Structure 1
Amino acid sequence: MGGQPSKLREELQAAQRQLSEEQSRAGSLEAELRSTQQSLATERGKREQREAELGEAARQYAQQLEAKEEHVICALKQREVLEQLRISDALLLKSVTTAMLQKPPVVRTCVTGALDELGAGAIASDSATAAGKGEEQLRDELNAALARLAVKEAHSSVLIQASRSDQRRALCSELWLNQMCDASLTLRSANLMVLGGLRMPRPQQGLLPATGLSGGVGVLRRFGAEEGSAGPWTAVGGSLLWDARERELSALRFAICGQPMPGQRVSMGFDHTGSLTGSLKSSWDAFTLHATGSVDLNTRGINRMGVEVSYDLD
């Protein structure tokens, strides 16, 4: 019986040693667990930081890509607007060149002024300037330039029409009878001009006999270069007055006028009184020489001669 407590004591001591070993092993495992948790937390923090860095880099890349796309779109639109400006300039230059070649000098001066005002600074911006402007601003400038161009074209058209009318009127006056009708209607085109009218009865004035109600007719035909051009041209005209009371011609005139070369103009006419008239007009630079003369074929004497010299200061 005395050996049983000793055996129990040994078992108790063995159990205590085993418990101590298990506690020591549990402490080691717990320390290892804490170390592992710390390592996991550190790795998790590094991973989250890396994910945040990658996300930020992705956002920056997306923003850069979007900015590049916007820049490309803006450049394409600016290129389109610049192409429209180039086409507008080409059309303007063509129309101005055509007007300068075909229209009279006074109109050429007006058109040249319009070209200077609507030049490259007003219509076509260079690519360096256009690169810094938005599409809306370029379109506004284009619309404003086109509006100014339309105004200038309308103004030039009015001047062209006025100059054309003055030239035709002057040509008719040069080839037809002076003060032929008191009431008349004239139809004028580039190559044909026709007049019809009435002249009221006139009392005798000096050597001029009295006339009754007279009908007047005038015809003018133009040949050669286009109207307003510098090429050679010739015009032939005739006019007459028919006295209804006397039933006879009361006045008659035939004349010819031509421009053999730029700046030179020659005319010659013959009327019912037997008077042969002629004139020569020559222009170079700012000088103009105009010589006129008339010869009475009935008396074979020179009635009148005249020379006029003028110089334009501006």
Structure 2
Amino acid sequence: MTEERDTDIIIAEDHKPELNNDWSGGDRKPFRTSYGKLMMWYFLLSDAFTFAGFLISYGALRFSSPSWPVPDKVFATAPFGINEYFPNGEAPLIFVTFMSFLLIISSGTMVRAVQEGARENKRGVVFWMLLTVLGGAGFLGCQAWEWTNLIVKENMTVSTNPFGTYVENGYYLDPETGEITDEEVVEGETYLLHVAGQSHGEEAADDHGDDHGEAHFAYSTVPGDYPGYVVDGLRPDGTGDPTAKPFIHRKYVVVDEETNEQLLKVQEFGPPAFGALFFGITGFHGFHVATGVIFLLIILINAGSGVYVARMNGYEMVEKIGLYWHFVDLVWVFVFLVFYLL
């Protein structure tokens, strides 16, 4: 009896299925994929929820606010004097479109790198991954220029939004005399608050004075209330605050439809959430791009040195970084749609 049991145990052990070392507790890989790829999918799924939360928050604030900056006005600058070739010196969304083009092209080169990896073509993998790195680095360089322009030249920060939007039609006051001019204020139009002494002065007034009724007029850099404008920087007690930026707020009048009375208005800052959300979301995405470029370089070096061939696991790392890079590109499509087109 004992010998029969021992024989049964030996037979059972001989027919025991061989377990895959990658997965304990079963002999099949979930979704027929490797552990590394599955973990990458888990990470991308969780990251997608994070970005979705940011974009939904932006949308909620965007459509609940009575006014919001028009993207065509906020993102209307480009380097190398490109603005000069467009009407009014504005190149709406031209530069950010170029940024998006770079990222989309880099996604295509990443596809080619994965294809060459499947063919075990080391030189092809290195070549196409190098182009992907250049595309990602170019995108980061463009984003750095965009941020620098918004922060340094246009004075936008996470707490200050100098891009306001008119909610009523009206007419500007003359900056010097305070009299009503023929210069119209158009409802829904976005304006940029300038800093006294930086964006307005004798030269700026001479260049644009004929169009805006400000010929040969220089705004004061001293905080205070003037006939046709206000300069920020006063404390509640009336003294000047040297740490405050002296933004210029032009005055204008609107007509009350019920009483037909002229009401005096002053340009105001735009919703502060715009700057905070813009720098937060695009910065978070830029961090992902920078991280991707670093890992692309590491995998590129490993592929070129033959590490993956020596490991006998093919170019699976190229596939995994490819999944990440395509995710980063896809997220940018939604960021571009939300920030630059809505």
> Which category of TM-score, normalised to the shorter sequence, fits these structures?
under 0.3
Give the TM-score taking structure 2 as reference length.
Answer: 0.24
Structure ranking higher on relative contact order (CA contacts 8 Å, 6+ apart): 2
Give the TM-score taking structure 1 as reference length.
Answer: 0.26
Which is strand-richer, 1 or 2? 1
Which is helix-richer, 1 or 2? 2
